[in-house]
Structure 1
Amino acid sequence: MSTEKEGQGRPQERPVPAPPAVAPDEPAHPAASAPPVPPGAPVAGAPAPGVPAPPTAPLPALPGAPASAGPAGPPPADPPTGTFGGPVGPPAAPPDAPWAAFPTAGPPKKRRGGLIAAVLAATLLAGGVGGGVGYLVADRDGTVTSATASGAGEGTVARAPESVAGIAEAALPSVVTIEAQSTTEGGTGTGFVYDEDGHILTNNHVVASAADGGTLTVTFSDGASYEAEVVGRAEGYDVAVLRLLDAGDRDLQPLPVGDSDAVAVGDATIAIGAPFGLSGTVTTGIVSAKNRPVASSDGQGGNASYMSALQTDASINPGNSGGPLLNGDGEVIGVNSAIQSTPGSGMGQSQAGSIGLGFAIPINQAQRVAQDLIDSGQPVYAIIGASVEMRGDTPGARISENAPAGEEAVTPGGPAAGAGLRAGDVITRFGDRVIDSGPTLISEIWTYKPGDTVEVTYQRDGREHTAEIVLDQRVGDA
């Protein structure tokens, strides 16, 4: 079944008002770090109330196994400014709405996120480990262990290949549970075989806690486990690529990749992951919406991530982060990354669960980012070279008139400057997409590639203007 990729498709859809705080899909264990916001373009202002502050305030992303969630702190006194046209810098303050994050081993960390204007704040679905939806199953003695999902196996009744059972049987051997462990925390998330060279695609927040000096263990549905290393991470996109170590002659079967731009609302979806550590869990639903602007972060002061996501009602929970969202043909159309949850929902006060609002990074975008990481180890972000306010009363993304010290709202010689944009202009449309806020603009810009030419509609002194911008690039998250 065909599905459409969120963030890559450009339907003329106006983002809906920000819903309640969303809980990130975190790893099975607590403590998954949230995806950072790519630096490169300053963004000014802060998100609307109840929404995580964009480039300047961390936004939650789907965590893996459950992590403890907590109410977000109050919004920053002064709206932060982030560079637009390039990855946004780390949020200055946590989101206004509470976010539930799934921590890795060790004390669970809180993740927060919110919808900004029409931007949905989603909670990272990381469980125990830095990312991925699903929690590790805790033994009575308090230790955490990962349960290998059974899915289709010996003794199962044969089903038609095109049925959900048939698709699950074919896909499960290529979906893995990821355990990330650092000296202070750990957690569990999900990933899937990307190619025959041993690369595994997952969320950045699933592996962030173990990216520097920690350990990563990848377990297949047959129980076989391998150590892995990080090939590259993209905080702003919340994408990471791992490489299996000593996989020997294991026959790796990459999951077939679909076209997220061809997705339609109502198309069937199948999500596979390790929610709360229950590896190999399969759930079904439909594509509920596409091109949904979502901002997320761990609420720990890390950079925020932005995506024009595929929304699904397939049940995904902490620990599902990084797992595949399949279409009716068994092809990957998205990478599960975040969920929206009601305040106070989840296990205790630290976990949020599915209420039918899940968000996935469109596979067309995730695949492009993954290839950059494999080729160079660094993410590449499209930028316009302007700082925009992340909060504001005027619909649209206003170019800041008060850029960070030492910087200019519109970078001299940059894309925005070349198109004639100035401080105070309000961008209302980017390509075919209606823009209602700074975060929505960031999410949309990152669906393009550097070098793309995009028509921009903006208002100045009450009059509407149009111009064409040739996007520049920023390499890396630093």
Structure 2
Amino acid sequence: MDEKYTSNENNTNNDSASSDSLYSYSYRDKEQSETTHQGDYYEERNQQEAARQNLEQESDFTIKDAKLEETDNCAAKEQETSSADADICAKEQPPHLDMSYKTENFEQSNSKADALKNPSDGGEHSKKKKTKAKIVKSSGFWKSKKFGPVVAKCAVLAVVFGLVSGGVFQGVNYITSSGRTQQDSISGDSSNATKDSIGKTPVSTATTVKDVSNIVQNVMPSIVSITSMSQSEYYNMFGQSQQYNSESLGSGIIVDEDDDNLYIATNNHVVSGATSLTICFSDNNTASGTIKGTDPSSDLAVVQVPKKGLKSETLSAIKVAALGNSDELQVGESAVAIGNALGYGQSVTTGVISALNREVTTTDSQTGESITNELVQTDAAINPGNSGGALLNMNGEVIGINSVKYTDTQVEGMGYAIPINTAQPIIEELITREKVDESKGSHLGISGVDVTSDVAQNYRMPEGVYVAQITSGSAAETAGIKVGDIITEFDGHKIDSMETLKSQMQYYEAGTKVKIKVKRADNGSYVEKEINVTLGSKNS
């Protein structure tokens, strides 16, 4: 009895683990008081059983410690790799809380067995075991929370967040930079252009011209209407030849004057074959005119009007036109066309310069001759009757002489004018040159056929006059011109038809020396030759 209380007193200050030992000891003491032999038997058997269980538990504890070590190694490996691999590795291990719990229970059982073997130090041994169990349990707590994978996940999330935020930042910078680049492009800023850059179009300062009334008011006094009367011949159903008078309408520009005459530039096809010309001025007064000179190859002519036949009010109303510079024209430049459209009187149309140096071939409706020239294209309406009228720039200067319109049901706004820089020297020559009296007229001595642009294209021949026959003893034979030669130039003037050749020769007296250019066939091609010719007399 004393031993029981003593033993109980010794274990009073112990923790929960020692209370288990006290209970076991007291129970055995009670049994011993009842049956000593039976108690000894059970005590010995219990000690053997406790030893056996202790041995098994120690083996199991060793295995569990190995598993715990393996788990710790796996957790360390998880922290070095990715969080995804850490989760997989952690799932393969037993739950850490369960493992710690089993370990703690094992320590308690082991403490009971030791208490059976050595009751006196059971409390101390149990305290040591419990301390170890608490350490194991604490380690299991961190493992149960998967602290290593959490750190790895946080690191990965931080990296991902950094990448995403960096990408967003760079994207914002790119979009902002693109916006600035686009804005620079729209504003025409070429400061960032490289040496290989094609550059950007500059900002235009052009304005739309809607009111040309001031231009028209200033220029209209220099524009005239021309009515040409000519005789036409036709054959009736019986084959008899009959003649009738025909009228054609056109326009002209007063380009020069002297003390006695006014000089009006127009198209050759307006006055060609005319028996009489009637000129109507801006004040609606009329006067008769005569052809001063023509140049069929350029479709130009000059009409002369004596001042003495004009009324004083007409002389005070009319003006000489100011001539511009067609070489300075630019495509898209505004233009104004004035002329006697359809014979209704002077009318005004506006447009722009559509193109420059357009090669255009036209055919004379009366003679059937074709001529080719480089013209200015405009979309300002040029209608029948506008021929010979003025094409003006925004300064009111004449930059072209309206010549032809492309007529087709599928085409609109394609009119053409002779550039004033091309026309001016020809007009000046026609004004200053005087026709030679018939008694002093010159003669070349050939019969020719026109080589038009169509013939030249089809037969691969140069345009001009084909020499079909040469008069014996004529100036042409003496100079060395041969049958088959094609005359292309006469004393510096382009020749594209017999009419053009005759028109040029009317200004030369017999005996005048001129240079004539011909193209002669040579082994399938044509070679140009320049021949000096002394013109013969027409009356010889």
* TM-score range for the pair, normalised by the shorter chain length: 0.3 to 0.5
Identify which of structures 1 and 2 has the higher relative contact order when contacts are C-alpha pairs closer than 8 Å and 6+ apart. 1
More strand as a share of residues: 1
